[in-house]
Chains A and B, each alone.
Chain A
Amino acid sequence: MKLLNLVVASLLALTVFGGASSFAADSISQMRNADILTEDTAPRMPKVVNSDERQVRNYPEQPPLIPHKIDGYQIDKRLNKCMTCHDRRAIEQSQAPMISITHFMNRDNQFLASVSPRRYFCTQCHVPQTEAKPLVENTFVDIDDVLKGETKK
């Protein structure tokens, strides 16, 4: 009886773990070009989108994307480089969109005279885009399509 148990257990273990390892080799390391233990060559750095054209917002609350390069833009305690164009008083010359009025609100929805400290660091929410190919397929469906009943892409 004892021997039988042992044999069954080993067989079970073999099927489960042996199967799992072959399963892993087949489908887990999809985003790597090489085996998990070998060091992969880094992919080339993709170009940053610098079209200056506004991009669609995928949902109403999405922070607008930055359609230009922001290399070396200083955003720290001393200075916010973005604000040299997107500040309320700078947009006449720069013709850039002004930061939204929500950025002047504190957490109690009270409007302040200038940018609320919690909204100071632009790149916390706003990001530029690159021309990189997505590593996995995106199955996101726009809310308007959902409303129309078109849930398939």
Chain B
Amino acid sequence: MFSAIKRFWQVIRKPSVHYSLGFLTLGGFVAGIIFWGGFNTALEVTNTEEFCVGCHEMESTVFQELKSTIHYTNRSGVRATCPDCHVPHNWTSKVARKIQASKEVYGKIFGTINTPEKFENKRLELASHEWARFKANDSLECRNCHSEESMDFTRQSVRASEQHEKFLVSGEKTCIDCHKGIAHRLPDLSLLAEGH
């Protein structure tokens, strides 16, 4: 094992014997574009709703719940897809989340939520992960669309404007503290208090 690494290192250190410098630099450049483009394209494919609901685990549960909410259907036709809320938009955080999501591949292979009953048993745990993530990044995925600066409190209902002024502007609370379950059905939150 160690000798193999050593041989590889020796080959890599030596100047090229057969190929020209131009071929190596241009070839490397082109290969880099193809590799990077391919990687990013593949990343973006996994970042679409079609990909998410490609698995019945997502299609028959959370996606059906989303359909009746304002984030799927509304008067202006602007809507949020799965990755808009569940995947960070800036690149490093996105890749970090994608690496974390490799556990979901494990879950798919071993069928951890492949029946509605299994999903319901896991609902609280899965929802808690998302809430913790939103809490930690100050509801960044909400704020990607719902900017506090552009929010006209005078056009909100009395109740909404009072609450936003009191808790959102003061920074005392973040979006997810009050707006849990706006896109999916909620688990039994009393279990959370019991420490399940």
In-complex Cβ contact of A72 among B157, B182, B187, B189 (8 A): B182
Is A81 part of the binding interface, using a Cβ–Cβ cutoff of 8 Å? yes
A50-B157, A52-B158, A52-B159 are contacts. A79–B69 as well, Cβ < 8 Å?
Answer: no
Is B70 a contact partner of A78 (Cβ separation < 8 A)?
no
Is B181 part of the binding interface, using a Cβ–Cβ cutoff of 8 Å? yes
Residues of the B chain whose Cβ atoms lie less than 8 Å from the Cβ of A71: 70
Nearest-CB residue, chain B, relative to A53? B158
Nearest-CB residue, chain B, relative to A50? B157
Give chain B interface residues in 144-196, CB to chain A under 8 Å: 157-159, 162-163, 167, 178, 181-182, 185-189
What interface size band does chain B fall in? 10 to 19
Is B68 part of the binding interface, using a Cβ–Cβ cutoff of 8 Å? yes
Interface flags for A78-116 (1: CB within 8 Å of B; 0: not) read 110100100000000111000000000000000000000
- The distance from the CB of B128 to the nearest CB of chain A, in whole angstroms, is 14
Nearest-CB residue, chain A, relative to B172? A93
CA distance A52 to B163 in the complex (A): 13
Interface of A, secondary structure class, is: loop
Residues of the A chain whose Cβ atoms lie less than 8 Å from the Cβ of B157: 50-52, 68-69
CA distance A12 to B39 in the complex (A): 89
Is A78 a contact partner of B188 (Cβ separation < 8 A)?
yes
Residues of the A chain whose Cβ atoms lie less than 8 Å from the Cβ of B186: 74, 78-79, 81
A52-B159, A68-B159 are contacts. A79–B189 as well, Cβ < 8 Å?
Answer: yes
Is A72 a contact partner of B70 (Cβ separation < 8 A)?
yes
- The distance from the CB of A141 to the nearest CB of chain B, in whole angstroms, is 32
Residues of the B chain whose Cβ atoms lie less than 8 Å from the Cβ of A69: 157
Nearest-CB residue, chain A, relative to B178? A84
Question: Which residues of chain A have a CB within 8 Å of any CB of chain B?
Answer: 50-52, 68-69, 71-72, 74, 76-79, 81, 84, 93-95
Question: Which residues of chain B have a CB within 8 Å of any CB of chain A?
Answer: 68-70, 157-159, 162-163, 167, 178, 181-182, 185-189
A-B contact pairs, 6 of them (CB 8 A): A51-B157, A51-B158, A52-B157, A77-B188, A79-B188, A84-B178
